[in-house]
Amino acid sequence: MKWHILGAGSLGCLWAARLAEKNIPVRIILRNEGTLTRYIESPGIRLSNALRTQTQYHPIPAQLATDAEPIDCLLLACKAYDARAAVNAVAKRLHSNSLVILLQNGLGSQQAIQTLLPNVRCIAASSTEGAYLASPFHSVFAGQGHIYLGDLQEQSQPPPQQLLDNCLQAEIPCTWTTDIFTHLWRKLAVNCAINPFTVIYNCLNGELKQHPAVINNLCNELQLVLQAAGQVQAAQNLQQTVWSVIDKTSHNSSSMRQDVAQGRRTEISYITAFACAQSRALQCQTPTLFALHTQLQNALRKHGLSTT
Ligand code: NAD
Ligand code: KPL
User: With bands split at pLDDT 50, 70 and 90, how would you rate the model's confidence at 283?
Assistant: very high
Q: Is the pLDDT of residue 282 over 80?
A: yes
CA distance 132 to 114: 27
Q: Is the pLDDT of residue 155 over 90?
A: no
Closest approach atom of ligand 2 to CA 105: 5
* ipTM, 2 dp: 0.98
CA distance 145 to 183: 14
Instruction: From 78, 147, 82, 151, select the one nearest 114 (Cα to Cα).
Output: 151
Whole-number Å distance, alpha carbon 12 to ligand 1 midpoint, is 7
Whole-number Å distance, alpha carbon 219 to ligand 1 midpoint, is 28
User: With bands split at pLDDT 50, 70 and 90, how would you rate the model's confidence at 26?
Assistant: very high
Mean pLDDT, to the nearest integer, of 289-298? 98
Contact predicate 247/281, CB 8 Å: no
**Burial of residue 23, with CB atoms counted within 10 A of its CB: 0-12 exposed, 13-18 middle, 19 or more buried:** exposed
What's residue 156's pLDDT? 80
**Burial of residue 161, with CB atoms counted within 10 A of its CB: 0-12 exposed, 13-18 middle, 19 or more buried:** exposed
Q: What is the pLDDT of residues 236-255, one digit of tens each?
A: 999 999 999 999 999 999 99
What's residue 154's pLDDT? 82
CA distance 131 to 149: 19
209 belongs to the catalytic site: no
The distance from CA 92 to its chain's CA centroid, rounded to whole angstroms, is 24
